[in-house]
């Protein structure tokens, strides 16, 4: 019996090194052109049209693959961020865009990173960082905190303030993984810091 978790709305198109929605995919594409975007899987998927709805599904001979939505929201959001950056490394896909409010209005930043490492629940002193982007020497490039129930408190902000960090809402990540809307940040980029310092002090 097939379950609802095996339907996938989006995949990686290896022919064009980009993400693709199911309704945009070629129904006659050979096996291997489209793969699952989940880095824990990355197995070939095929386009299916059923009841006027398009989606991707794993090939039966690839075995049982579960992409359950039952995981806790915070955990799912962390994994989605990791997917975005890991797929950049593995398949040369475009970096996600970071969007933030500034005194000059909304700004969008596409980071340029190379030779980076992604770690989750990364220890920094007595703190654990949801997602850490590190260089090849394990030095932090960017720390990402996922906001689900609690914002980064003043104490944690003080403990990690020697490094650039950002905070993004979990629901925002899951609704659009390619445009990551930053709620608060520190030194990312530094010229916009003043806009966020008051907000940080008020929470």
Residue 3: per-residue pLDDT: 44
> Does residue 74 sit in helix, strand or coil?
helix
48-83, pLDDT tens digit by residue?
A: 999 889 999 999 877 655 555 556 899 999 999 999
Please tell me the pTM assigned to this model: 0.82
The CA distance from 156 to 134, in Å, is 19
- Which sign does the torsion angle of CA 65, 2, 11, 112 carry? negative
Q: Are 16 and 67 in contact (CB under 8 A)?
A: no
- How many residues are listed for the chain in this entry? 203
Residue 15: per-residue pLDDT: 96
Residue 202: per-residue pLDDT: 38
Mean pLDDT for all residues in the chain: 86
Residue 64: per-residue pLDDT: 53
100-143, pLDDT tens digit by residue?
A: 888 788 989 888 888 899 999 999 999 999 999 999 999 999 99
Q: Are 78 and 146 in contact (CB under 8 A)?
A: yes
Give domain limits for the chain: 4-62, 73-201
Q: Which residue has the tokens 């909304």?
A: 106
Query: What share of residues in the chain are helix, strand, coil (percent, to 5)?
Result: 25, 35, 40
């Amino acid at each position: 019996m097939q379950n609802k978790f095996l339907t996938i709305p989006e995949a990686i198109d290896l022919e064009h090194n980009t993400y693709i929605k199911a309704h945009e995919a070629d129904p006659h594409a050979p096996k291997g052109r489209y793969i699952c975007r989940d880095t824990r899987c990355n197995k070939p998927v095929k386009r299916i049209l059923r009841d006027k709805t398009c989606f991707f599904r794993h090939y039966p001979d690839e075995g049982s693959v579960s992409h359950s939505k039952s995981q806790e929201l915070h955990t799912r959001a962390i994994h989605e961020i990791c997917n975005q950056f890991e797929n950049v490394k593995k398949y040369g896909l475009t970096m996600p865009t970071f969007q933030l409010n500034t005194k000059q209005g909304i700004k969008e930043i596409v980071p340029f990173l190379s030779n980076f490492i992604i770690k989750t629940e990364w220890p920094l002193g007595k703190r654990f960082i949801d997602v850490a982007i590190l260089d090849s020497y394990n030095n932090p490039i960017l720390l990402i905190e996922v906001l689900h129930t609690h914002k980064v408190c003043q104490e944690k902000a003080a403990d990690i303030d020697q490094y650039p960090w950002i905070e993004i809402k979990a629901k925002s990540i899951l609704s659009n993984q390619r445009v990551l809307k930053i709620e608060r940040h520190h030194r990312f980029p530094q010229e916009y810091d003043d806009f966020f310092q008051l907000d940080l002090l008020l929470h």
